[in-house]
Amino acid sequence: MLSYWEQESFTQYHHIIAGSGIVGLSLSIELKERYPDARVLVLERGLLPTGASTRNAGFACMGSATELLDNLQHQPEEAVAQLFAARCAGLAKLRARLGDERIGYTEAGSHELLSERELPALEKLDYLNDLLRPITGKDAYRPAHHRIAEMDFGAPYNRGLIENTCEGALNTGMMMYALMQMATSMGVEIKTGATITGWNEETNGVWVHVTDSHRGSEWPLWGQTLSLCTNAFTRNLLPGEDVVPGRGQVLITDPIPGLQLRGIYHLDRGYYYFREINGRVLFGGGRNIDFEGETTTHIDLSERIQQDLEEKLRTIILPNTPHTIAQRWAGIMAFGTTRQPIVRAISPSVYGAYRMGGMGVALGSTAAAQLAGLIEEGIG
C-alpha cells in the first residue's frame, strides 16, 4: 500500500519511460528540452540497464566493410545507406550533447582484418565509397595493407587490412554516467528496482503498473505518455514485436606491459571486435558460431564462446604476447527481420524506440529524437 504522501507526490507524471539505457535517457533529455516543466520519470528494473548500454565494447559503430557488404546481400542499397547515415547523425548528436571529453571519445578510425576468404571485399571498396560518399563526404574505406608489417596478427586474419575512416571509440561507462548526470540535472527522475508489469490506457493518458522489488507490492503510476525503450526486452511487454535478443560476450585482459596494439579492429563481418584500452585488450563477439544459443536474454556466459574468444585472442590478436584474462561479461542486443530500429507510436498514449541492432551507441540519440518528435505530434 502507498502512504498519503507517496500517492500525492510520487505517482503523477507527464511522461514515463521504461528503460534507463542510451535510448531511454536520451529520450528523457529530449522531452525535458521540449517540455522543461514536465515531470519525466525513467523506470529501470535493475540497478543499471541489463541490456547492452553499459555492457558493450565502446565502439562508435559505423560498420566494417565486410559487414556492410554482407548487409547489402539482404537489403537494398537505400536501406543500408540510410542506416549508415543514421549512425553518423546519432553519433554526432551524442558528441554534441555531451562533449568528447565527457565520454572519452577518440576518432582515429578502425581497421578490419581480412582472411583469404574475405580478400574479394577489396575489389568492392570503390562501390561502398561511392554509395556512402554523399553521407561521409570522403572515402569511408581504403586498403591499409602497408600496416600489416607493423602488426603481429596471426593467421588466418593477416592477409589484408581495410581502414574505416569514419569510426571512433568511447568509454561506455563515462558516456552513461554523463547521460545520467545531464538527465538528473534537468529534473528527470530515475527510479531503479522498478519492473513494469503492464498498463491500462484511458482517454487522456495511461496507468502504468510497476512492481516494487523491495516491498513486493504494485505501484500505479499515471502518465500522459508511456515510452518503451526496452530494446531486447521489449517482448516482455509487447509479445508480438519483431524483436529477437542476441547476446554479445566480451572479455578483457589484465594490463599487458609494452602492449603495442593501438586502435580498434573488426574481423569476420563485424562479428568479432577488439580494441586497446588502458594497456589492456578488450575482445568480444562470436555470436555467429552459435546463433541459436545466443538468442537469449540471459546475461550468463557461454563456455563455448568464451573458449573461442580466448583461442582467437591467443592465436590471432596476441600470438606472441603473454596475457591473462581479468574480466568477462555479456550484454543483450536486439535484432529483427531488418536492420532498421523500430521507432513508432504504439497507441495514442504509448510509444516505443527499440531494436537497435547492436548499434545503440550510434543510433540511440537519433532514435530518441525521432520518438520525442512523435510524442510531440501525438499530444499536440
**What pLDDT score was predicted for residue 60?**
85
Q: Which residues pair with 332 in a beta bridge?
A: 247
Kindly give, in sequence order, each residue whose CB lies less than 8 Å from that of residue 143, ignoring residues fewer than 6 positions away: 122, 125, 160, 161, 162, 163
- Map residue 292 onto helix, strand or coil: helix
Q: Provide the 10 A C-beta neighbour count for residue 81.
A: 17
Report all structural domains of the chain as residue ranges with CATH numbers, in order of start. Answer: 9-53+174-242+339-379 (3.50.50.60), 64-164 (no CATH), 244-335 (3.30.9.10)
**What pLDDT score was predicted for residue 360?**
93
Q: Which of 214, 248, 215 is nearest to 231 (CA)?
A: 248
DSSP state for residue 20 in the 8-state scheme: -
**What pLDDT score was predicted for residue 257?**
96
* 83, 68 contact by CB (below 8 A): no
Q: How far apart are CA 83 and CA 78, in angstroms?
A: 9
Q: Which helix (H) or strand (E) holds 244?
A: strand 244-253
Q: Does the predicted model carry a pTM greater than 0.85? A: yes
CA angle 11, 14, 19 (to 5 degrees): 80
Alpha helices in the chain (DSSP H): 4-9, 22-34, 65-71, 77-98, 100-103, 125-136, 172-185, 291-294, 303-312, 360-379
Q: Using the structure block, give the residue that is written with the C-alpha cell 585482459.
A: 253
Q: Using the structure block, give the residue that is written with the C-alpha cell 554526432.
A: 92
Q: Which of 245, 239, 200, 206 is nearest to 222 (CA)?
A: 206
* 266, 112 contact by CB (below 8 A): yes
* 284, 268 contact by CB (below 8 A): no
Q: Using the structure block, give the residue that is written with the C-alpha cell 540519440.
A: 365
**What pLDDT score was predicted for residue 77?**
96
First to last CA, the chain: 35
Give the rounded distance of the alpha carbon of 80 from its chain centre.
18
DSSP state for residue 186 in the 8-state scheme: T
Q: Which of 359, 368, 258, 364 is nearest to 318 (CA)?
A: 258
Q: Which residues pair with 65 in a beta bridge?
A: none
In this structure, what C-alpha cell is assigned to residue 196? Answer: 513494469
* 203, 224 contact by CB (below 8 A): no
From first to last of the 380 residues of the chain, give the pLDDT tens digit.
788 888 888 889 999 999 999 999 999 999 999 999 999 999 999 888 888 899 999 988 788 999 999 999 999 999 999 999 999 999 999 999 999 999 999 988 899 999 999 999 999 999 999 999 999 999 999 999 888 878 889 999 999 999 999 998 999 999 999 999 999 999 999 999 999 999 999 999 999 999 987 777 788 999 999 999 999 999 999 999 999 999 999 999 999 999 988 889 999 999 999 999 999 999 999 999 999 999 999 999 999 999 999 999 999 999 999 999 999 999 999 999 998 999 999 999 999 999 999 999 999 999 999 999 999 999 97
Rg (CA), the chain: 22
Q: How far apart are CA 130 and CA 369, in angstroms?
A: 29
Alpha helices in 223-359 (DSSP H): 291-294, 303-312
* 164, 64 contact by CB (below 8 A): yes
